[in-house]
Structure 1
């Protein structure tokens, strides 16, 4: 782990301790101390993420209660040629698996299928879980959040041409000839690993 990643991990843990402490404490003195710890963590995270402290505090404003990792749900969809479905993110012009934050009210598999439909227009049936990854244990760029990624295997049931508001292009690509990826969402080696996993019955997990 690099020095920057170690500092990021420490700042995230510090903020999680403060958030959990604020959730459980009933003492005014303790509340003030936990708020001070949270402010220090916000400053550290903002420095590491090159953000304004106020902007980062606003980002975490709704992160209350017992601190948990955020859940990112993705879907790997392959065509008959063995090419994988990718969508281009409108925000940065880079490509990724369809997916995003898990929404309340739906199961992880339901979230994955909906993201594929909304972002690519394809209707898929979720076949099985392929991977459960802790993003901090992979080569993703540093994130202020601690994120777990679930990747499901989906099979196409109906084609479509709809592109969602967050994506502006859709395509199938060989795992060995990928476009520029949004590395904060998916890594090239992870796509190649998913291609291997779909042929077996195992789940890759951290």
Structure 2
């Protein structure tokens, strides 16, 4: 069985709104998540995360302290991922409609208020508490949410 995949993700709260991305091309799913992605070997978690955030959003960020460890898996696919979330602040850039993810994975990017999160499909479910609280959290293994068409 393969080892768990490691990913780094950003918690970016700007003007009391949380930045999320939809990482399913062409509307394959309505699922939103924090920007970030797989960690490349021989590069720090911070460097990986800064690169991923820029690729997915066009923003440059300063990566701060860790705030969440989240695990998810799909036993049928023998997939297991560990996401390490870090608090980040924007140092330059702005979200624009013309930014294109070079890998064409992220199709949408948007800031959400805490109240708006109640109206969308997002993972992990602890995001609101993590984004607006200052505690370190650990979310144990949760089942991978399969994409659902809009």
| Cα distance, 1:124–1:148 mapped onto 2, change above 3 Å | same
Corresponding position: 1:118 with 2:55: yes
Structure 2 counterpart SS, 1:105: coil
For the aligned residue pairs, the C-alpha RMSD in angstroms reads 2.4
Normalized against structure 1, the TM-score is what?
0.56
Give, in angstroms, the shift of residue 146 of structure 1.
1.6
Name 1:203's counterpart in structure 2.
136
Name 1:73's counterpart in structure 2.
8
Match of 1:166 among 101, 105, 109: 105
Give, in angstroms, the shift of residue 163 of structure 1.
2.9
| Cα distance, 1:93–1:118 mapped onto 2, change above 3 Å | same
CA distance in 2 between partners of 1:127 and 1:190 (Å): 19
Match of 2:127 among 171, 180, 191: 191
Match of 1:175 among 84, 100, 114: 114
The answer for unaligned runs of 5 or more in structure 2 is 141-150
Match of 2:88 among 132, 135, 154: 154
CA distance in 1 between partners of 2:75 and 2:130 (Å): 20
Give, in angstroms, the shift of residue 145 of structure 1.
0.9
1:49-68 → structure 2 map (5 Å cutoff): 67-68=2-3
Name 1:131's counterpart in structure 2.
68
Number of residue pairs aligned between Structure 1 and Structure 2? 130
- Residues 127 and 153 of structure 1 are in contact (CA less than 8 Å); yes or no, is this contact kept in structure 2? yes
Which stretch of the first structure deviates more once superposed, 148-157 or 168-177? 168-177
The answer for unaligned runs of 5 or more in structure 1 is 1-15, 17-66
CA distance in 2 between partners of 1:204 and 1:131 (Å): 5
Give, in angstroms, the shift of residue 141 of structure 1.
9.7
Larger CA Rg, structure 1 vs 2: 1
Give the number of the structure whose residues are more often helix, by fraction. Answer: 1
Give the number of the structure whose residues are more often strand, by fraction. Answer: 2
Normalized against structure 2, the TM-score is what?
0.74
CA distance in 1 between partners of 2:22 and 2:80 (Å): 24
| Cα distance, 1:142–1:177 mapped onto 2, change above 3 Å | farther
CA distance in 1 between partners of 2:111 and 2:11 (Å): 11
| Cα distance, 1:141–1:171 mapped onto 2, change above 3 Å | farther
Higher-RCO chain (CA-CA 8 Å, sequence separation at least 6):
2
